Chains A and B, each alone.
Chain A
Amino acid sequence: MRRITIPAPFLFLMPFLVILTFDIVIPLFYAVYTSAYGGTGLSFEKYVGFQNYAAVFADSRFWASVSNMLYFSAISVPVIVALTVGLALFIDSKIWKQKTILKLIVFLPYAVPTVISGLVWSFMFDNRIGPVPLVLGIFGINMDMLSAANVYYAMLMMVTWAWSGFFLIILLAGLRTVPNSIYEAAQIDGASAFSMIVDIKLPSIGGFIILVLAMSLINNLLLFNEPYILGYIVGLPDNITPNIYIYTMTYKWGLYGLGAAMAFIMVLVSFALSFLFMYFTVLRRR
């Protein structure tokens, strides 16, 4: 009897492909299938075709949730990119010596679940038990971070806190890819510290900066944990972010078809965004 041999690469890929199919491919097809039916619950009786998608496109509250997060991203993405790039250059420079401890401190929040950090920051903003009003008061700022008007700033503090460390490590890894000989050559040519940053460091980590930008944008568009926690404390509208809206539709109201349609649209958007980014930075250069 002949032994059937599977080519090695497929042997190694098989487990991943099985999990991928089970976790992503089938659920997505299933979501599309579900979205073709109306009514509540998982009943496949009322076939509606594309009506759920038509309803999503006509739903101004859904688009409001998307524009909420685009607005939030317009604030938070530049902040987190500027902060992490600045920090990476700071740690990479010669003016600060205790690099290890600073990196550890910035990276530490990565190990805190965002549900917990959302909760902790909410308490931090609370003027009865938290220190933030006290600290703001020192600078003469009287601002209630837990009012509905300031909710984007509250989320900004949470998201920046949670994600900066991971982005910082990626950017520092990028700075390491610059060969030392380039710096030495620039030094011999008498380049100033400023020109080293602008002419050598920033261009050489351009791809990494775009990676951070893209990850932060996609994460913000699909934010859930932080607004979920804040929603309980401040009382936010159920369409503050697309994911909160989808959660409300699906889980609270049982509109599975409609929720599936929205979720599928958001998955496509994030697929497209991350694909575009990867295509233009990493893949095209290989």
Chain B
Amino acid sequence: MAWLKGVVVRLLAVIVAAAVIVYFLLPIYWLVIASFKSPGLCEYTSLGEQTICTNELFAGNPLWLNRINPIQYVNVLSGTMILRWIANSFLISGSSTIIGVLVSTMAGYALAQYTFKGRSVLVLLVAAMFMVPVTALAVPQFLFLLGIGWLGTYQSVIVPCSASVFGVFFMSIYIPGAVSPSVIEAARLDGAGELKIFFTIVFRLLGSGLITLCLIIFIGAWNNFLLPSFVLTDMNKYLVTQGVAAYMGGGVQNRALMYSYFISGSVLSIVPLIAVFVCLERFVEKGLYLGAWR
């Protein structure tokens, strides 16, 4: 009966994998499909209850696309500043990533490479802050930024997004595995200074770890919503997450336009990130494997 057991196991595996794939891909699949449907206009009865919707988005099969209709993209590109918001997000996430990766790699290197007074205190501090989500700190940061008059500036989001405690922790574990002490010793014997060793030798040996950290900080900044919605109130300066959510509270009378903004706006806001992510995912996995803390 061994073959029967094999068949059953195989069948169960396929069912599990199929369920997983459906759950994790369906929202993205649905979003892309829906973004190419005409949202048309819904008519309301006098009671405001029953809706008669003569359009593809509402009337059609939610899982199928009969023909590609780019009207939603036309709406969102002409009716909102979505491209500007995406550019803003790139600016903020990119700046945070450059600062954050540099700063936390240096700090992680210090924790990994040297023994000094106060090191254990710092490790404890990093450990305590490591899992505190950005949403916890948003209000204190907002009040402080308001106090120093930084509201409405890009740096009021860039600076908070570039403090990656996770990055310091990750690098302090990743570096000892990726850079062998003998390389650093040899460079020291050759008379290279500590900074030179770090920037010319260590930094180049961090491959997957650096890519992992870049992606984590970049996505974290791109994902940030609470702090930007406190500090960036000028629509010109919105991040794309704010921009897509901006019409939640109303403000758009035309429902067809509103659905366009939400649905195709969402697609436009995730496409750049997903593209980068799919290209770099294997490095992230490798980076996290190598950094697996024991």
Contact = CB atoms under 8 A, between A and B. Distances in A.
B136 interface: yes
A183 interface: no
A267 B131 CA distance: 11
Given A23-B141, A28-B140, A169 B114 contact: no
A17 B62 CA distance: 51
A270 B140 CA distance: 14
Contact of B103 (A15, A165, A177): A15
A256 interface: yes
Contacts of B141: 23, 27
Contacts of A63: none
Contacts of B187: none
Contacts of B128: 271-272, 274-275, 278
A98 B16 CA distance: 13
Nearest to A249: B139
Contact of B24 (A108, A243, A283): A108
B191 interface: no
A154 to B, nearest CB: 13
A109 B129 CA distance: 25
Interface in B86-141: 99, 102-104, 106-107, 109-111, 113-114, 116, 119, 122-124, 127-133, 135-141
A183 to B, nearest CB: 17
A176 B289 contact: yes
A264 B139 CA distance: 9
Nearest to B141: A27
B225 A115 contact: yes
B135 A222 contact: yes
- The majority secondary structure among interface residues of chain B is helix
Most A CB atoms within 10 A — which of B144, B230, B270?
Answer: B144
Contacts of B139: 31, 246-247, 250, 259-260, 262-263
B232 interface: no
Given A106-B20, A131-B62, A278 B226 contact: no
Most A CB atoms within 10 A — which of B116, B137, B139, B225?
Answer: B139
Contacts of A16: 103-104, 106-107, 163, 168
A113 B241 contact: yes
A108 B28 contact: yes
Contacts of B262: 119, 123
Contact of A267 (B127, B136, B163, B249): B136
Interface string A57-91: 00000000000000000000000000000010010
Contacts of B143: 27, 30-31, 34, 42, 250, 256, 260
A232 B229 CA distance: 15
Instruction: Identify the 3 closest CB pairs spanning chains A and B, nearest first.
Output: A16-B107, A278-B127, A274-B131
19 contacts: A31-B140, A102-B21, A108-B277, A113-B223, A113-B273, A115-B225, A116-B241, A123-B30, A123-B34, A131-B30, A170-B288, A174-B292, A177-B292, A218-B131, A225-B135, A264-B140, A275-B124, A279-B127, A285-B294
Given A9-B119, A31-B144, 18 more contacts: A12-B106, A12-B110, A17-B107, A19-B162, A30-B143, A90-B13, A104-B278, A111-B273, A116-B270, A124-B30, A131-B30, A161-B23, A161-B24, A161-B27, A172-B289, A224-B138, A274-B128, A282-B293
